[in-house]
Amino acid sequence: MRYSEQSLPVALVAGPLSAIDADVLAIPAFEGEAAAAAAALDDGAGRRVAAAFESREFTGKPGTVFVTPCVTPGWRAQRVMLVGMGQRSACDATGIRRAAAAAGLTSRDRRWRRLVFALPAALALPVEAQSAAEGLTLAAHYSGIYKSDADARPVPIEGLIALPASASADDCAAAERSASRGYILAACSNLARSLANEPANVMTPRAFAEIAVQLAAESGLKADILDEERLSGLNMGLLLGVARGSAEPPRMVVLRYEPARPATTAVLGLVGKGVTFDTGGISLKDPERMHLMKTDMSGGAAVLAAMKAIAALKPDVAVAGVVPLVENMPGGRAMRPGDVVRGAEGKSVEVLDTDAEGRLILADALWYARQLGATHLVDVATLTGAVGIALGRTTTGLFGSPDSWVSLVSRTANRAGDRAWALPLFDDYREQLRSDIADLANVGGRPAGSITAARFLKEFTGGLPWAHLDIAWTAWADEAQPWQPKGPTGVAVRTLAELACAFEEWPSLPA
């Protein structure tokens, strides 16, 4: 297994910017604030900055940068990079995270190692420090690990965050804690990206389970791996049905975090879809984009990486992570369209389409999370192509009940930079899942495809507070953005970890 974390921890620096030695000093600049940006740099670089604003070479638009040598007398940095922030009034954590990531990616491209990112002092200092640490760390992710030319590897960035000159000693201490939190969250996002990017010949269900065992040992989590025999013993016929077509045996990974001093008896159950490759099975997919189905375990990767973050952040609430792992293949023993299989809870399902496999394995995993004592559930899955038709590539589909739980997940996700939007789950949609011969059909036709998929999952949540994140179009970036290269995004990792830390805000929290 060759996955590796490229990230280096992010440190803080206080004092005047002029005194900071660096290859590049990144200064966030807001639209229409040329004077402020130029004044901060005195004459030397300042005049060039003023000229760049003047000629509109740089306007401060989000995602743009302007680099100039730092010739200001008395300044120690080699270069200054202005990073476009957009309007000051619209600045939020996402804006700072993206600006820091854009600065990091630009530095990496040009092989400048020592990058200092100056906080803009537009938001509360801890929010800025965490977001900047996240952005710098996210920029360190590298996905070309199978390339042979070692010289082509990006240089590791030594990211530093410069605090505003006005910061007190207490401010610095708080910012330090926030930056370390940001580093943990983003390094774990990068871990999920590395896992999701692995080819399916490497990342089999058994390989994923081995990584989980290793990660648990390193992080102080408890791990339990259910093999085929135990899965059959528990009658997980939905999961086993999907696994039948593959020569690779299925697994179910269970990771448990137990706090030293629990503040509540609640248990968060995190469930992630772990289809290591999705051919569609007998309902075979078109070959055109099939190679991307190596990422069909991105939900599972997000749960694993979030468990690692939770183990490091140590919230006072118990968390169980469950990842059902299968390869969906059209082998000679594969499920056929029309087959009826029965899950561990006893419900029978008519499999009208073997490509709707994610909901089958998640159904048994949601049931198992309840057996483990989960009181609140969240699942993450690359579940439907239809979610992208509804929401596009930027926004994760969010479903669930009750509304109080869904809206907490929504707020947490949007703050963490995992943009999510709730779609309805009216009971009327249950009609589309009616089967002539079984309790449920596994597909509900083309209308509202991501909603009926979510509605299927709901049947297996036992009425617990439950939220479902459909990341089919957000787990993988098809195009590079200034703040994010093409490839795996690590979506949902920060959301899940932050949700565990926010347990005091959960609805119906037991004592």
Contact positions vs ligand BES (CB under 6 A): 278, 296, 353, 355-358, 382-386, 443, 449, 472
Could you tell which of ligand BES, Mn ion, Zn ion, none binds residue 449, using a CB distance below 5 to 8 A set by kind? ligand BES
Write down the least CB distance from residue 388 to ligand BES, Å.
7
Task: Kindly report the backbone phi and psi dihedral angles of residue 114, in degrees, each rounded to the nearest multiple of 5, phi listed first.
Answer: -95, 100
Give the ranges where 244-279 is alpha helix by DSSP (H): none
Residues 346-365 that bind Mn ion (CB under 5 A): 355, 357
Does residue 41 contact residue 71 with C-beta atoms inside 8 Å? no
Active site residue 206: no
Name the residue with the smallest CB distance to Mn ion.
355
Outline where DSSP puts E strands in 196-250: 222-226
**Token pair for 57:** 């070479």
Nearer to ligand BES, 184 or 472 (CB): 472
Write down the least CB distance from residue 356 to ligand BES, Å.
4
Nearer to Mn ion, 23 or 278 (CB): 278
Count of alpha carbons within 13 angstroms of residue 371, beta-carbon side: 13
Our CA angle for 406, 409, 412, nearest 5°, is 150
Summarize as ranges the residues that interact with Zn ion (CB under 5 A): 275, 278, 296, 358
Does residue 44 contact residue 75 with C-beta atoms inside 8 Å? yes
Write down the least CB distance from residue 485 to ligand BES, Å.
19
The rounded distance, in Å, linking the Cα atoms of 183 and 174 is 14
The type of residue at 26 is A
Neighbour tally for 5: CB within 10 Å: 15
Catalytic residue among 251, 308, 359, 370: 359
Nearest to 360 by CA among 352, 310, 505, 159: 352
Active site residue 273: no
Could you tell which of Mn ion, ligand BES, Zn ion, none binds residue 470, using a CB distance below 5 to 8 A set by kind? none
Residues 208-237 that bind Mn ion (CB under 5 A): none
Separation in Å, CA 128 to CA 101, 120, 204, 390, 410: 13, 8, 39, 32, 21
Could you tell which of Zn ion, ligand BES, Mn ion, none binds residue 384, using a CB distance below 5 to 8 A set by kind? ligand BES
Write down the least CB distance from residue 200 to Zn ion, Å.
12
Per-residue burial over 457-468, b if 16 or more Cβ lie within 10 Å, else e, is bbbbbeebbbbb
Nearer to Zn ion, 181 or 455 (CB): 455
Could you tell which of Zn ion, Mn ion, ligand BES, none binds residue 331, using a CB distance below 5 to 8 A set by kind? none
Nearer to Mn ion, 306 or 362 (CB): 362
Write down the least CB distance from residue 453 to ligand BES, Å.
7
Write down the least CB distance from residue 285 to ligand BES, Å.
7
Our CA angle for 44, 48, 54, nearest 5°, is 145
Catalytic residue among 47, 206, 285, 430: 285
Nearer to ligand BES, 190 or 452 (CB): 452
Nearer to ligand BES, 115 or 200 (CB): 200
- Letters for 256-295 (x = contact with Mn ion by CB under 5 A, - = none) are ----------------------x-----------------
Residue with tokens 């997000």: 302
The rounded distance, in Å, linking the Cα atoms of 90 and 339 is 53
Size of the site for Mn ion (CB under 5 A): 3
Nearest to 97 by CA among 141, 125, 136, 62: 136
Q: Do the strands 11-13 and 158-162 form a parallel or antiparallel pair, or are they unpaired?
A: parallel
Q: Name the helix (H) or strand (E) containing 401.
A: strand 396-401
Does residue 490 contact residue 189 with C-beta atoms inside 8 Å? yes
Write down the least CB distance from residue 346 to ligand BES, Å.
24
Nearer to ligand BES, 263 or 292 (CB): 292
Could you tell which of ligand BES, Zn ion, Mn ion, none binds residue 443, using a CB distance below 5 to 8 A set by kind? ligand BES
Residues with catalytic function? 285, 359
Residues that bind Mn ion (CB under 5 A): 278, 355, 357
